[in-house]
Structure 1
Amino acid sequence: MFLITLTYRVPLTAVDAALPAHIDYLQQQYAAGVFLASGRRTPRTGGVILATAADRQTLNATLAADPFYQQGIADYDVIEFTPTMTAPGLEKLKEY
């Protein structure tokens, strides 16, 4: 499992201009079962994505398709981890 943080490199006006394409990309990754959760950071300096992928190379290829990545909108920091404990109702996360 992977925790990805995005940090914006450009003003929010540029982020907002690219947002519709980024949302389409996110929806594609949810449909493919790659992304499990995502959202804006508070304050709005970037975003966070919880993802699953076969390996880091596969995840890197997935992230490279993000319009935010392609347009240089954000920097990405990826942390790989193995969930060993979860809150009730989230036990499925341990399968990743």
Structure 2
Amino acid sequence: MFIVNLTYIVDLGAVDAVLADHVEWLKQCYGTGAFIASGPKKPRDGGVILARCSREKLDACLKADPFWQKGFARYDIIEFEPAMMASGLEKLLAK
């Protein structure tokens, strides 16, 4: 499992100009099963994605992100293996 921490490196006006394209990209990655959660950070200086896929698939997804393609964000990727979680989320542990 991966946590992807996006930090914007351009002003929010530039981000907002391609936000609709970014949302469509997110929907495509959800459709492939790669992403399981995402959302903006507070304060809004970037976003977070929770991904459940191979690193290769994640890298391919991220390279298709309009923010990545335009150089609008820095991407910090943390891999971890969940060992415990709240009741009801057990499917996240299944491989």
Q: Which residue pairs with 2:73 in the alignment?
A: 74
Q: Distance in 2 between matches of 1:14 and 1:86?
A: 37
Q: Distance in 2 between matches of 1:58 and 1:71?
A: 20
- Structure 1 gap segments, 5+ residues each: none
| 1:31-87 residue CA offsets vs partner (Å, 9 max, x unmatched) | 111100000000000000000112x23311211010010001101000001111010
- Output aligned runs, 1:81-96, within 5 Å: 81-96=80-95
Q: Distance in 1 between matches of 2:87 and 2:2?
A: 20
Equivalent pairs counted in the alignment come to: 95
Q: Distance in 1 between matches of 2:57 and 2:87?
A: 30
SS in 2 for 1:39: strand
**TM-score normalised by L of structure 1:** 0.95
Q: Is it true that 1:22 corresponds to 2:22 in the alignment?
A: yes
**TM-score normalised by L of structure 2:** 0.95
Q: Is it true that 1:7 corresponds to 2:7 in the alignment?
A: yes
Q: Distance in 2 between matches of 1:67 and 1:32?
A: 17
Q: Distance in 1 between matches of 2:13 and 2:57?
A: 31
